[in-house]
Amino acid sequence: MGRRGLALAAIAAGLVVVVLAQRLAPLAGPPLYDGVPLVEPYVWLSPPPGQPGGAQPAHDTETDMSGGFGVFTAEQPPQAQILIDPGILDIPDGTTSVTVSVTPVPPPALLPADGAITGNVYDIEATDQNGAPIAIAAGSQVTVVIRGPAGLSSARIEVYAGGQWTAVETDPVGVPDMYTTIVGELGEFALVKPGAGAPAVQPTPSPAATSAASAGTAASGGPVESPAGSRAASPAPGPTTRSSLPASVLSTSSGSGGAPALPWSQIAAVAIGALVVLAAGFVLLRPVKPPAD
């Protein structure tokens, strides 16, 4: 067999190795490459000296009473978000539309006693067509995500409602300076950084979670009774989880998913096949010196 024939045989052998690797450990789809996430500077409602302003509100109005909501501000990543599953809001009869809004507002006169507000305060609310507030159904919860200024090493989300601040259970999302919580009430949300010498505050479970646990519905998954005149679904859907977070968050979160990792055996087989093909191509394309006279 001549040099060209050997090279073609080597190329065929390399391709066979690659095909066998895919057959033995197939991929469900091509790998997902998230790339480098775009992180815009934090923008303030009332910027400190040298910081950018321009924080914007966001809202979503729906006439379909059976749908859910995902509202987030326009920054990348968003600075405030709320996710509401279908049936979570306690919608009164006669409601023709629901608006969920996320609005940066000045801090209330009463500030948290256990730390300092870091970043904007966001008023998150649901209203009907007349502007009347709509509450979260008893035993239900929503997901709120708040992003703070750069360099925020640790913080917790607190809610201002009913004239007082309440620290809620908070988890980091995976994106720097971003935190999430699952709550059973709406209000004004802010990230609070514990201050030096401030008394330690134990995060308080939301009233919805407490009432659900006391009724024994959280563990059993049984129906939760809604107030009279409510259009909330029964049984109430379970709490929103991190899997419900939008792509704007998950695409920049560490460990957020994508294609499964390649098995090492498949990586090795593909590498060997590729090397064989490259070597054969080199042999095939290498110029041949004419024989000496």
What pLDDT sits at residue 291? 63
Answer whether residue 184 shows pLDDT above 50.
yes
CATH class of domain segment(s) 58-250: mainly beta
Angstrom distance (rounded) from CA 166 to CA 273 = 60
Rounded to two decimals, what is the model's pTM? Answer: 0.60
Among the listed ranges 17-31, 62-76, 229-243, which one has the minimum average pLDDT value?
Answer: 229-243
What pLDDT sits at residue 26? 61
What pLDDT sits at residue 187? 97
Neighbours of 157 (CB within 10 A): 23
Average pLDDT over residues 124-129: 98
What pLDDT sits at residue 199? 44
What pLDDT sits at residue 60? 97
99-112 residue pLDDT tens: 999 999 999 999 99
Selection from 37, 49, 123 nearest residue 75 by Cα: 37
Helix 3-24 and helix 264-285, axial crossing angle in degrees, nearest 10 = 160
pLDDT, the chain, mean:
75
Q: What per-residue string of b and e applies to 194-226 under the rule 16 or more CB within 10 Å gives b?
A: beeeeeebeeebbbbbebbeeeebbeeeeebeb
137-173 residue pLDDT tens: 999 999 999 999 999 888 999 999 999 999 999 999 9
Structural element, H or E, at residue 268: helix 264-285
61-95 residue pLDDT tens: 999 988 999 999 999 999 999 999 999 999 999 99
What pLDDT sits at residue 18? 66
**DSSP string for residues in 72-122:** E-SSSS-SEEEEE-TT-B-PBTT---EEEEEEEEPPPSSPPSSEEEEEEEE
Sign of CA dihedral 76, 80, 83, 89: negative
Q: What does the block give as tokens for 252? A: 């920049």
Angstrom distance (rounded) from CA 219 to CA 78 = 33
Answer whether residue 113 shows pLDDT above 80.
yes
Answer whether residue 210 shows pLDDT above 80.
no
What is the distance between the terminal CA atoms of the chain, rounded to a whole angstrom? 25
For 53, the 3-state DSSP assignment is strand
Neighbours of 109 (CB within 10 A): 5
Answer whether residue 188 shows pLDDT above 70.
yes
